[in-house]
Amino acid sequence: MRRGVYFDAWFKDQHNYHPSLPARRLRMVEQLADMRATTLCWSALGGGSIALPYLEQEAYQQVPARFRLHGHVNDAEFLAACAARGIEVFGVIFEAQGWRFAAEYDQDGLLASVNETRGVGRPGSVGLTAFNQDTGPSDWLPWRHYFPDGLHNSLGEEITDLFEQACSRRLDGEPLHANWVEVADRDQTAHLMDRNSPAWLEYLKAIARIQIDAGVSGIQLDESEIPLNALYYGGCFCPDCTVQFRQYLQGLDPATLPPELQGTDLSAFDYGAWLRAQGYQVYTPVRELPLVGLYAAFMLGAMHRTFRDLSAYIKAYGRSKGKNILVSGNFYNGHPEYDGIVDAVDLCITEMHATGYQQPWFFRHVQGLARGREVLIAENPYGGIIPELVQQLETGRGYDRLRTSFYEGAATGPSMTFPFGSWMGTVIQDSFWAPKALLDEVGQALAATDHLRGVTSRHEVAVLYPLADAWAAEVTGPRWATAGAAVDYAGVPDDQRIPYHGLIKQLALAHVPFDMIPLPDPAYRANDVTAASLARYRYVLAPACARISPAQHDELAAYAAAGGTVVVYGDYGTALPDSARAGVPGVPGWVAGDLADPTAALADLQVEPAAAYPDLYLGLFDLGPGRSAVHLVNYAYDQTQDVTPPRHGLTFQVRLPHAVGAARLWRPGHPPQSLTVGLEADRVAIKVPELDIYAIVELTQES
């Protein structure tokens, strides 16, 4: 299992300036080895969205002797040093960001300053426009060196300003901004770029080639959801999206077009002009626009298509160089739009929108979205506890809080990445550094128990994540309620989202281990939820699966007929024929659940605590035939004492698919300890003498 690091290495007490990351030092590699890191994300060669020559300088530029004295290296040298230690480094492509920075030039046309200008030399700028028009620094190679035939838009016309001609645009034609990375008190501009632009897609491929040649182990495609994310900000109505949406509509069956388009000549249809002619303004909430359902479907399909195109290109180019290049993306907060691209990546990396002190349900959600792949999760400074925690750590407090975060990830499946100067947003002038001794301690403990973790569970409860319903809720719900300012669904109360979210939270708090099973939207991915794939589960929970397809319903019916139990919460199969829905729930194997008390319908729970443990998480993992692991997290943090007091004599019973002849307790900082195994009916009875924050009970068939 990977142990990930959120490796921005931004400076303390300074803004985090996207997209170019600070220069790396050899001492960093030693620190990573001390904490047993295996994989770095957001970690190298980010400057491609400034210019390709800038990116090549990040990779290869000679480091002055003064900086060599302190171990500074260029990114290619850093990649080689990490590889020698067995550490994977993902180059990061900031797909949604196109940059222009204020700059100053000396008399030779070289940069005298950039971004933080000094009032010296000739004023100018650095970025995509300067690169495309060959007005940048004199030591940059020209545009035609990289693109001899130029880059072109959807009509085949050559672009002359990539910054302006490949970005997303509002209804009034103004560029959208990647405002989550722009620092307001600096002269810098980040346009929200559009992967629907053939020119931008080809430019991203050029970034990937440079990164692969420089020695990355993998490439992380940040902002994986472009161009869909433009809709959160009131777009996109750029020429490329206009042309492609027209082509999308022309490809539909005319009989299925909505009434607004019946009889419309689509040969020259311009969605933005059509909306403006009806009086719609730039700040009309996106969900209120006519045709938004069709437009969102077009954008979602375009997101999937262009991501797959880029991922396949990265893989193919890597093979041409004799390398197996890994691909990941930022699957932000586990939103439903990413389901259609999971099979185009090797592992899933995601930011969580609102980081909390206890959220095992979120970890289980994202692990399910990954469909068997490893997951790395990074914290986010907005809407959560990170600013508070950073302040606590600086005063010597909060250590157990941070330990719990890492162990929570290990106990639920993903790797909660270690912060190494990680992002604190554009307002706070700081970065997130954790005490080295703490990271070393946790990293070494996780490495010592790596053989006791995995992505395959022993859980008897599966919860269906109805992707078609989740996607419909995004289009019509609060997340798209405004234009010009994204409203993230993670901050919306559970009762305003689909019922699934509240259900999994209640299950986790009630000590019911579960797997999340994505229920595909047939419009975007073939169904893989079958009676055979569900057969290992005692219960399958279906929360408000209103849009379940007939084929998916048939598979659930076959699962129930074979002895499983389907628990239905809320609306189910509202589009199914009446004959298919007859008696559901009511026929054998189908029962009605209550979202106010979701465990009431689960008559035979897999785990039975002997007493109420309100601040405990318990997860079960498959270690192979005749071997399982029970992971325990203690959340009982005492804020007054700033410690998590240990629990003594924790007892529970758990049902497993194999006999148990021996048990061993693994606790960070302690040698393994044999435990006595008892039996309670069809369950194994375990007593843990002491639980600090985290422990693993290894259960084996052989004594």
Position 470 pLDDT exceeds 90 = yes
Least confident segment among 198-212, 373-387, 608-622:
608-622
Q: Say whether pLDDT at 610 is over 60.
A: no
Domain topology for 607-700: Immunoglobulin-like (2.60.40)
pLDDT score for 494: 46
DSSP summary character for residue 288: G
Residue 594 is encoded by which pair of tokens? 């209550």
Residue type, 623: L
Q: Decide: 117 and 103 in contact? Cβ < 8 Å.
A: yes
pLDDT at 496 > cutoff 50: no
Q: What does the pLDDT read at residue 100?
A: 98
- Strands 627-634 and 616-624 come out as antiparallel
Rg (CA), the chain: 26
- Give residue 487's pLDDT: 46
Model-level pTM? 0.96
pLDDT of residue 273: 97
CB 199 within 8 Å of CB 153: yes
Per-residue pLDDT band at 439 (split at 50, 70, 90): very high
Select from 495, 513, 493 the least CA-distant residue to 504.
513
Cα separation, 81 vs 259, in Å, equals 61
Question: In which band, very low, low, confident or very high, does the pLDDT at 57 lie, cut at 50, 70 and 90?
Answer: very high
What is the structure's pLDDT at 611? Answer: 52
| Alpha helices in 270-328, H assignment, sequence order | 271-277, 292-320
Could you give the CA distance from residue 392 to residue 378 in angstroms, rounded to a whole number? 19
Closest by CA to 397, choosing from 676, 68, 644, is 644
Per-residue pLDDT, averaged over 449-456, amounts to 96
| pLDDT, averaged across the chain | 94
Query: Do 628 and 457 form a contact (C-beta atoms < 8 A)?
Result: no
In 3-state terms, what secondary structure has residue 511?
A: coil
Q: Name residues whose C-beta falls within 8 Å of residue 188's C-beta, 6 or more positions apart in sequence.
A: 17, 99, 100, 101, 102, 115, 182
**489 falls in which pLDDT band (50, 70, 90)?**
very low
Sign, Cα dihedral of 288, 290, 296, 302: negative
pLDDT confidence of residue 485: 53
Classify residue 525 as exposed, middle or buried by CB count within 10 Å of its CB (0-12, 13-18, 19+).
middle
Contacts of 81 (CB under 8 A, 6+ apart): 26, 29, 73
Least confident of 210-224, 356-370, 607-621, 666-680: 607-621
Q: Which residues contact 586 (CB under 8 A, 6 or more apart)?
A: none
Strand partners, 326: 218
With 0-12 / 13-18 / 19 or more C-beta atoms within 10 angstroms meaning exposed / middle / buried, residue 141 is middle
495 — pLDDT class (breaks 50, 70, 90): very low
Q: 71-90 b/e with 16+ CB inside 10 Å = b? A: ebbbbbbbbebbeeeebbbb
| The residue type at 369 | L
Amino acid at 158: E
Q: What percent of the chain has a predicted confidence (pLDDT) above 70?
A: 96
8 and 21 Cβ atoms separated by less than 8 Å: yes
Does 484 have pLDDT greater than 60? no
- Choose among 644, 641, 627: nearest CA to 691: 644
User: Domains of the chain: which residue ranges?
Assistant: 1-98+193-401+409-452, 461-592, 607-700
Calculate what percentage of the chain has a pLDDT beyond 90: 89
Q: pLDDT confidence of 586, banded at 50, 70, 90?
A: confident
Mind listing the pLDDT tens digit for each residue in 645-692? 999 999 999 999 999 999 999 999 999 999 999 988 899 999 999 999
Q: Is 51's pLDDT higher than 90? A: yes
Total residue count of the chain as it appears in this document: 703
Q: What is the pLDDT of residues 547-573, one digit of tens each?
A: 999 999 999 999 999 999 999 999 999
HEC sequence for 25-89 = EHHHHHHHHHCCCCEEEEEECCHHHCCHHHHHHHHHCCCCHHHHCCCEECHHHHHHHHHHCCCEE
pLDDT of 471 > 80? The answer is yes
Q: What are phi and psi of 585, to 5 degrees?
A: -75, 165
pLDDT in tens, 16-30: 999 999 999 999 999
- Comparing 228-242, 487-501, 511-525, the range with the smallest average pLDDT is 487-501
Q: What tens digit of pLDDT does each residue of 308-330 get?
A: 999 999 999 999 999 999 999 99
CATH annotation of 1-98+193-401+409-452: 3.20.20.80
The pLDDT tens digits for 254-294 are 999 999 999 899 999 999 999 999 999 887 888 889 999 99
